[in-house]
Amino acid sequence: MPARTTGDVSWARQARRALGIFRLTIAALEIVAIVGNYQYVLGFRSFATVNFFSYFTVQSAFAAVATLLLAGAFALLAPSDPPWLGILRTSVTVYVLVSGIVFGLIVAQASTRDYRVDVPWSDTLLHFVVPALAVLAWTSDGVMGLNPRVPWSTVGWVLVYPSIWLAYTLVRGADVGWYPYFFLDVAQVGGPVGVALYCALVLVIFLVLTAALVTINRWLWRRARARAARLPGTPRRSPVPVAEPARRR
C-alpha cells in the first residue's frame, strides 16, 4: 500500500473529528435557542406548553438536536456515516430551513395582517443562525467526500414527517381552535381552499429544497472523489476511506 494512503487516512480522521465537533457545537446552539425561546414565550398570557411543542419549528429543532448529536458521535467514533444517516440529516436540514423560510414569511406578512411579530435573539438563533450552520455542516460532507452520497429516495422520505405533523395539527386545531401558523386557520386564509393552497406551497418547498440539496451533495461528492483519484499514490478504486454502498450508484 503506498505511503500516501496513510496520510489520506490520517487526514480523513482529522476531518471527521473536526466535523464531529462542529456538529455537536450546532446541537448545543440549538439547545440554547430552544431554552431561550421557551423562556421568552413564558411571558405571554396566552402561553400553553402543548401549543409551544406543537410548532413545527420547535419539533424540527428537537429533531435537529437529536440528529446532530447522533451524527457528531458517528463522526468522532466511526470512519464514515451510514447511508441512512445521510437521509436523516438531509431531511432534518430541510426541516429547519423550511422553518426559517416560513418564519421569515410570517414576519414579512405581519404588517399586512395588522399584527406584530417580535424577533428576539432566541428566534434569530432558532430560525436563521442554526439553519445556516446546519447547511454548512451538511455541505461539508459533500466537499470532503468521506461519507456515502445522499440517495434520491430522500426526496420521498422528507415528506413523511411533515405530512404526519400536518394531519395532527389540522385535527387538533379544529378541536381546540388554535393553529401554530395563520395559513392553517380557515378563518384567516379564506376557507379550506386557502389552507390547501398554502399547504401545497409548503410541501413543494420541501420537495424543491430536498431535490436541490441531494443534487448539490451528489455533485460535490463526485468532485471530491475525482479530486482524490488524481492524487499520486491513491488507489483509483478507493480514493478516500468511505463506506459507499455496493448497490445502485
Residue 237 lies in a domain: no
Q: Which residue has the cell 401554530?
A: 180
pLDDT in tens, 203-223: 999 999 999 999 999 999 888
Residue 223 lies in a domain: yes
Residue 244 lies in a domain: no
Q: What are the two backbone dihedrals, phi and then psi, of residue 119, each rounded to the nearest 5 degrees?
A: -125, 85
pTM here is 0.84
Residue 195 lies in a domain: yes
Alpha-carbon distance 28 to 208, whole Å?
Answer: 29
Angle at 207 between CA 211 and CA 194, to 5 degrees: 160
Confidence band for 246, pLDDT divided at 50, 70 and 90 = very low
Residue 247 lies in a domain: no
Q: Write the DSSP string, 159-171.
A: THHHHHHHHHHHH
Which pLDDT score is estimated for 42? 87
Confidence band for 114, pLDDT divided at 50, 70 and 90 = low
Residue 242 lies in a domain: no
Pick the residue with more confidence: 203 or 113? 203
Contact 239, 7 (CB under 8 A): no
Q: Give residue 58's identity as a one-letter amino acid code.
A: V
Residue 100 lies in a domain: yes
pLDDT in tens, 135-159: 998 888 888 877 889 999 999 999 9
Determine how many CB atoms are found less than 10 A away from the CB of residue 238: 14
pLDDT in tens, 22-73: 999 999 999 999 999 999 888 787 778 899 999 999 999 999 999 999 999 9
Which pLDDT score is estimated for 3? 41
Confidence band for 188, pLDDT divided at 50, 70 and 90 = confident
Whether the pLDDT of residue 7 is over 60: the answer is no
Q: Summarize the confidence of residues 15-23 as an average pLDDT.
A: 92
Q: Chain centroid to CA 170: how far?
A: 23
Rg (Cα) of the chain, in Å, rounded?
21
Percent share of the chain, pLDDT over 90: 54
Confidence band for 241, pLDDT divided at 50, 70 and 90 = very low
Which pLDDT score is estimated for 5? 56
Residue 220's domain comprises: 3-229
Which pLDDT score is estimated for 116? 66
Q: What's the chain's average pLDDT?
A: 85
Which pLDDT score is estimated for 225? 80
Whether the pLDDT of residue 249 is over 50: the answer is no
Angle at 165 between CA 134 and CA 39, to 5 degrees: 60
Q: How many domains does the chain have?
A: 1
Contact 71, 91 (CB under 8 A): no
Residue 99 lies in a domain: yes
Total residue length of the chain: 249
Angle at 217 between CA 215 and CA 223, to 5 degrees: 105
